[in-house]
Every structure is written in C-alpha cells, then in structure tokens.
A and B are shown apart, each in its own frame.
Chain A
Amino acid sequence: MSQNSIELRGVTRIYRRGGQDLRVLDELDLTMAGSTFYALMGPSGSGKTTLLNLVGGLDRADAGEVLVGGEDLTGLSDTELARWRADHVGFVFQGFNLLPVLTARENVELPLLLLPLGRRQRREQAERALEMVDLGDRMDHKPRELSGGQEQRVAIARAIATDPEVILADEPTGDLDRDTADAVLLLLQRLNRELGKTILMVTHDPQAAGYADRVIHLDKGKLGRIDDNRATAGRS
C-alpha cells in the first residue's frame, strides 16, 4: 500500500438521532490510490462528509477499519488521532474556516505549531505556502480583509503548510462564484499533479468533480459507481 493511499474495510457509521439509529455508512469497502485526486459525490445524506471525517480522523467508525497510508485509525486514541491529523492530513472546508482574529500568515502557521519547528522555520514555511497559492502580498491581512476566493486559498495554504500526504476538502467551492471556484479547483489539481498529494473532495457540483481524476458516487451509505475522468475525452 502506498504511503498516501486510503482504504476503508467494512466501515459502518451509525448516528443516533431522536431515539433512532441512522446508518449513514453501511459496511463500506473502498480503496483509493495514493497521489490521486478523488471527487466524492452523492445526494444529501449519502454519507459523503461522514466518510471524509472518518478518513481525516475527525470521527470514528462504529465498525470496520479506516487505513490511511497503511495506518489503521480505528485503534488510535483521541490524542493520537489529533497528533496523526497534524502530521498527515490537511483540511479545506466549505466555509473556509479561518480564525477571524488571526492574519493569513498566522492562520497558516497554526498547524505548523504542532510540528517541532522553530519560529523562523514556521514563518518561512507559512510564507512559502501562501506564495504557492499566490497570496504572497496578502500575508498580513485578516480574513475579513480578503475576498471569498482569497480566504479559500489561505485555507488551502494552511492545508498544505505541513506538507501532508492527504488533503481533504469538503465542498471547497460551495461558497464561491464560478470563476473563483475554477481557480481554487485548478489549485487543488496542481497540488495533486505537481506535489503528488492525495486529494479527496466532497462536492455536489459535477463541474467541480470534473477536475478530479476519479469520481466516487455514494448512495445511502453504500458505494455506487466510480467514474474515471482520465479516460474521458475533453477533460481539462
């Protein structure tokens, strides 16, 4: 198994709401190759975000195994999971999820605080990540001083600052207009192609899914079909 591959074996996740069990993921088996850009699609309630949270170590499966880069997340404690997240995963969310009181640079530095780095090294790494997303001139701006697209690029810079093997994106273009969304998607595509990051992106938007190498369809907690965009002519 490659260092940044993702594997789910018989994963079940049940939410208990209003006294009833809601089986969000139902004995799901799925293998995702490393250094590949995946889009995860499906109707609301199909379990997309739940799957993303399980792969990111933000949530725990009720049954089955979640392996990322060969490491089984199901056996890790909360503290070990927190440490694992800091080392191996970068998150990009729909609402950008930047801390409003910190500048772009400080936001990007946040995950770097979890690594054994000196202050200067941290700063340099954060600046490098921001330059990679073309925000070298906005480092000292707070989120409210940036446009939506710029905020999402800061979030991407934060996600790649620690050089994780896997980037998880939950509707990263949901709050953006078409042009800005395209720019963000191109950026994610570049991170996959140039840096070899494994990207798993939840989206409702077929156009956004078109940027991925493969599109996984979920339905009612079960795996549907998997489309291979690379085989499709006219792919951007």
Chain B
Amino acid sequence: MALVPLRYNLRSLWVRSSSTLLTVCAIGATVAVLAGMLSLQQGFVTLFAERGRTDIAVFLRKGATSEGESGLTREQCAILTKEVAEVQKGDGDRPLASAELFLAVRRKKADGGETNVSLRGVEPLTFAIHGDDVGIVEGRNFQPGSDELILGEGLRARFPDLRVGETMQINVVPFKIVGIFAAKGGYRSEVWGDLDRLGEALQRPVRSRVIARVPEGTDLAAIQTRFADDLRVQPKVLTEAEYLTSQTQRLSLTFGILGGFLAFIMGIAAVFTGTNAMLAAISSRTHEIGILKALGFRPFAIFLAFQFEALLLGLLGGVLGCLAVLPLQGVETGTMNQTFSEVTFAFRTTPAVMLNAVAFAAVLGLIGGAGPARRAAKMMPTTALRRG
C-alpha cells in the first residue's frame, strides 16, 4: 500500500507551528509530571536498593516489619551474635555480628518545620560488617564508649545546626559531633553513635536488631527455623537487601500511584488537546484529504498519515516533558520512610524513566489522533473536495 509521503505531514506541522507548539506543550506538561514522579520513585527505590546487600543478615523480633517496631534484649542479641554458626568470623576469630539500636528523634529542618532524624547506636564491629560501604569523609569516627556522634552526609544540607564540632542534645545528654560519614542508601541520612551510650541517653534498654556478615546464598530461612522452638529468642531473619526493599515498597507504590493518577488526569486533558489539534488540522485540510483520495491514496494510508502526525506531536511532547524534568536530575529532597524518619534522596531521571515518559506521550498522541484520523480516512473524496 502506498503511503502519503512523510514530508507532507512534517511540513504541515511546521506550517501550523502555533497549534503544533500548543499541543506539544500540553502533552509535555503531562509528561513532565509523570517523569517527575517516576524520577522521584526511581531515586527513592535506588536509595535503598543500591545499599541492600545479600551477604548481610538482619535479625529482627519475630513479627516485626521494621527495626522501629523490633526489640531484642541484650541477652537475645548475645545469643544471635555468638550462636549462629553461619556468621562469618573477623579479626581474633570474633563473629562479624553486632547489635544496633534505632530510634527517630525530632529535629528542625533548614527550610523550617520539624522532621524525624534517625539515630543509630552501633558497635565497632558494625563498621567491619559494612566494610568499604561506610567511611568517614570529614573529621573522625566516634570513640567507643564516648558521647560522640557522626553524621551521615545526606543530613548536612537539611539540618544546618548539625555540623562537626557542634553539640547535639539527646534527652539530657549532650553529644559532640566529631565526623561526617559517607554511605550508600538510607544510612547516609542517619546519625550514628556508640550503642551503649545512645541506649543510655535514650533510656532504651532493648536493641532494635542484630546484623551479621554471612556468606552469599546462606539459607536464612533455615536459621529462622532452627530458632523456631528456642524459647530464648525467635528472630525473623532476612537479608539486608530484602529488608530494605520491604521498607521502600509502600512509599514506592505511593509514588507510582500518585504519578499514575496525576498522569491519568492530565493525560485526559492532553488527549483532548491532541484531538482538538488534529480535528483543527483535518478541518483546515479537508480539501487536501480530498485531493489525496481523488489521486488514489487509500483510506488506511490517510489514517496512517494523520496518526503519524499525532504520534509526532506526542513524541515531541514527550521529549519536551523529559527536558523539563532533566534540570531536577540530582536535586535532593527528603521524605519520611516507613520508620517515620527523614531520608534524603535525589531525583533520578534514568533512561528507563525517559523512555517510559516518551512512550506514554506517544500513546497520548495516538489516542488523541485516532478519532480525527479515522474521520479523515472515512471522508468521501467528493465531499472533502467540495469543502475546500
């Protein structure tokens, strides 16, 4: 089947540049909203996903869904750090396992208002377990047993009062900030200090979780089963990757639903704009449709020609929308995670996000153009020629 030459459509779009630009902008705005939400979602998911390791086991209280809900006594922690045979050994043949205390406290933000900041009490072995993933970038690490803290670098911009050399009051105990640490994922939005000192300052006798280095592929379910009948402790055991993924699911889904909802509502408006633009195009070119049909171009070729124009409008809108979102690439923002503490993460407009956004725009264009293109295809040549 002979097709109407593409240059006819391209030049027609160019000739109607005002109408083309308006339609492209309307679709572009819709795509920008969707791409923005997808970039946020991507940033949030990546934040946790990139940190999640499969050679670190996380032990929580049975039934707990997050470390905020979890609670293990010192004795239970001692059992888990010493009696799990799968845990790898470090220097001095000590198991690479450590207990942690996690709690969120209220702090003022740079832009006003208050939010929760995650405090994590850790043991010296915590650093050995994380290896190179956690490192001091400014100042020094805290001394074990001291009232000292180190800050995740993600908190610097959002909490101007938290700086090296400053003091952070936790309940009635002043802690000195001695360093800044870099880490992947959510840890970079946390404040770390000595487990026992923070436990005392926070008056929390229980620990939140135990983490341990295990060989890749260790059967953690088997460990959980082994402890199932142990009256001393019945932990929930999962890899760090699984744990972090479970923590992001709800918010990630929220971003997805919110983005999808906004894109749907705005998409309807964009489809109407596209339809309107194509109807106007067809109305002003009815005579030309008549000529093409009189010459012998088939109805389906006419349909394809106008759908091509609609598709092009959609694609241009998609590119415009992505360009509008690109300046946000890397811009950091924050939100509450499932443990109700502040996490900072950046917009990540990945190629996949852009591809999805452009595909969405193309679909908008095609839906908007389908009706008018069908109408053009069905026109009788004599009727179309008479309307010129």
Please give the residue numbers on chain A whose beta carbons come within 8 Å of chain B beta carbons, in ascending order. Answer: 53, 56, 58-59, 78-79, 82-87, 91, 93, 95, 97-102, 106, 110-111, 113-114, 158
Bound CA span A84–B382, Å: 16
The reply to whether the CB of B298 lies closer than 8 angstroms to some CB of chain A is yes
For chain B, residues 275 to 300, give those with C-beta under 8 angstroms from any C-beta of chain A. Answer: 287-288, 290-299
Contacts of A158 in B (CB 8 A): 295
Bound CA span A42–B268, Å: 53
Q: Which of B15, B295, B298 contacts A101 (CB 8 A)?
A: B15
Q: What is the minimal beta-carbon distance from B363 to any residue of chain A, in angstroms?
A: 27
Quick check: A113 and B15 within 8 Å, CB to CB?
Answer: no
Quick check: A102 and B295 within 8 Å, CB to CB?
Answer: no
Contacts of B145 in A (CB 8 A): none
Bound CA span A84–B3, Å: 16
Q: A99 and B296 in contact (CB under 8 A), knowing A106-B5, A106-B7? A: no
Contacts of B290 in A (CB 8 A): 97
| Chain B residue nearest in CB terms to A88 | B296
Bound CA span A106–B297, Å: 15
Q: What is the minimal beta-carbon distance from A116 to any residue of chain B, in angstroms?
A: 9
The reply to whether the CB of B385 lies closer than 8 angstroms to some CB of chain A is yes
Quick check: A101 and B8 within 8 Å, CB to CB?
Answer: yes
Since A86-B296, A91-B295 are in contact, a sample of 16 more A-B pairs with Cβ atoms closer than 8 Å, ordered by chain A residue number, is: A58-B382, A82-B293, A82-B297, A83-B296, A84-B296, A85-B294, A85-B296, A99-B292, A100-B15, A101-B7, A101-B14, A102-B7, A106-B7, A110-B292, A114-B2, A114-B295
Quick check: A85 and B295 within 8 Å, CB to CB?
Answer: yes
Bound CA span A82–B296, Å: 4
Bound CA span A189–B339, Å: 90
User: How does the 8 Å CB contact mask read for B350-388 relative to A, with 1 for contact and 0 for none?
Assistant: 000000000000000000000000000000111001001
Quick check: B298 and A82 within 8 Å, CB to CB?
Answer: yes
Q: A58 and B294 in contact (CB under 8 A), knowing A101-B15, A113-B2, A114-B2? A: yes
Contacts of B294 in A (CB 8 A): 56, 58, 85, 91, 97
Q: What is the minimal beta-carbon distance from B269 to any residue of chain A, in angstroms?
A: 29
Bound CA span A111–B294, Å: 10
Q: Which of B5, B11, B14, B388 contacts A113 (CB 8 A)?
A: B5
Q: What is the minimal beta-carbon distance from B306 to any residue of chain A, in angstroms?
A: 14
Q: A111 and B11 in contact (CB under 8 A), knowing A58-B382, A97-B385? A: no
Contacts of B7 in A (CB 8 A): 101-102, 106
Contacts of B297 in A (CB 8 A): 82, 114
Quick check: A78 and B5 within 8 Å, CB to CB?
Answer: no
Contacts of A53 in B (CB 8 A): 382
The reply to whether the CB of B335 lies closer than 8 angstroms to some CB of chain A is no
Q: Which of A56, A59, A95, A102 contacts B11 (CB 8 A)?
A: A102
Bound CA span A97–B295, Å: 11
Bound CA span A82–B2, Å: 11
Bound CA span A100–B7, Å: 12
